[in-house]
Chains A and B, each alone.
Chain A
């Protein structure tokens, strides 16, 4: 009883002490998030100017960020905001700046070149963007020349679309017993390859919609021991294009964290398909794909939306093959910007460096989502 009272008194005293310390000597970040400005240092150096800009971006304090720029007369604040968030719904719209990194490239008494790497977090995972900044001295402080990426606007026009879509009438409650439902689309795994990686076992492959109707597809796999017992079961989640048009092929990748391939005796693949309503548009062309074997191996290129409909979120999925046509790796990358009609957008798909030397060819598809269209 006495011990309990002592403990309560001790905690009360400690709380008061911490409150006093926090009030008299607050952490700068806490002050900033509470509305203060102390996190921002005086822009007395190029590094400080870029740091301050990054902090404003992190806080989505667009007005402060815009006002701090040296070249703000060259564009308006809405244009600056559009540069950061996109002018239409995309992954950027709701992305939060998680952290940033500033790398000085060159500096003189009056100007400096710096690289600002911004790491954003989104609902589909993080992505990174990079801007090379020119920082100029303006009296006793430094300010950033923001390299605005102007998003081209598509001129008003009518793009004729021979709109093709499939609708499905499913079996209804009034149908007699024996009136079978529409059959699920026929799909087939045309390639499958397991590899052992540091993160575990990765089962990759390609899936073909053999039917004449669109399919919503998923692939699951079960690792089996040599005695036939199950080790683990996982699905491809988003590492697959779920909506497949007739004769379309999608890569898939299934990760089994912490699994050891030496324990695997067999792999049971379980592809599933459901007949769904779907649209054949939009068509996205993947242009100028170039594989860079490294260091920092990656496949880069541009996505060009050939339809009149904006693609809000695009997911690039690439299958890499060796010189014998054998599957080496499947990789994917979301594109943070929306695909406006006929406006190319860059993409880069990273490839593990140790596999890069095996890559000879690749095949890329784009899985896309447009707002107002659930297909």
Chain B
């Protein structure tokens, strides 16, 4: 709402600016002001007037005594952007323009790390984008040195230093070869923000099963399941067992528990039992009745 009003006032101010520019200036406005800092606008002349400061997201109004500097306290003007100052005295308007720049020191780093889960060993699999903001949530557009660091559960942390451009810095980093939660840390001028990236195993590799009799049933179980980098497959991953016999078949989807998927199936002599997980197929065994 305030921004809308300020925008409307800014439009009026910019429309008046060329007209007012032809008059003698009764105020002196600094070319740039750092967001949130105290400043003053000296005026000349005599009598009463009204000073308007209008920007893209903020507008101020002061009743002024001409000839006296108008004081603005720290924090009065804090939204970065291009501003217009209008000094209205009776029917005449004096206009000046200035910029409010962000503070140079970041206060918060908005850090977007993607994805939140990534397969291990993926080249440039993790991307991080950071936006630096000052105390007043202004995007700091001046160049700023930002360091990215990806620290996994083992190995040397990967680090990059990037300079922001127009307030943004980004990088891409390979995921580690070992699974686990990695901390993706971004740091600039002592400000640190952390995201957690889960580096997860890939598809099962070398899926194998064995079977042994258990009464009327066969207990079929996989060997400990790992991906091709040797990382254990997480619990809950579904493994499908299929037993084919006498023109019939039995199937069951079993979740991995403690690295192994296990199921009891009817023992049919001559049955073939196969295993798969997702799009990965494993070995096939033939049950001979006692083997």
Contact = CB atoms under 8 A, between A and B. Distances in A.
Interface string B268-291: 000000000111000000000000
| Interface range for B | 35 or more
A280 B234 CA distance: 12
A180 interface: yes
B252 interface: yes
6 contacts: A178-B110, A212-B198, A247-B277, A288-B250, A290-B248, A365-B251
A86 interface: no
A288 B266 CA distance: 9
A212 B278 CA distance: 11
B200 interface: yes
Secondary structure of the A contact surface, majority rule: loop
Interface residues of A, number: 37
B116 A283 contact: no
Contacts of A306: 252, 263-264
Nearest to A185: B117
A245 B236 contact: yes
A289 B251 contact: yes
Interface in B106-165: 108, 110-117, 131
B252 A166 contact: no
Contact of B252 (A179, A249, A283): A283
Given A178-B110, A183-B117, A247-B278, A212 B265 contact: no
Nearest to B203: A247
Nearest to B200: A212
A210 B193 CA distance: 30
A214 B251 CA distance: 21
A196 interface: no
B255 interface: yes
A79 interface: no
Interface of A: 162, 164, 166, 176-180, 182-183, 190, 208-214, 245-249, 280, 283-290, 301, 306, 363-365
B110 A285 contact: no
A283 B264 CA distance: 11
B279 A286 contact: no
B95 interface: no
B215 interface: no
Given A208-B279, A212-B234, A248-B238, A289 B249 contact: yes
B237 A182 contact: no
B117 A212 contact: yes
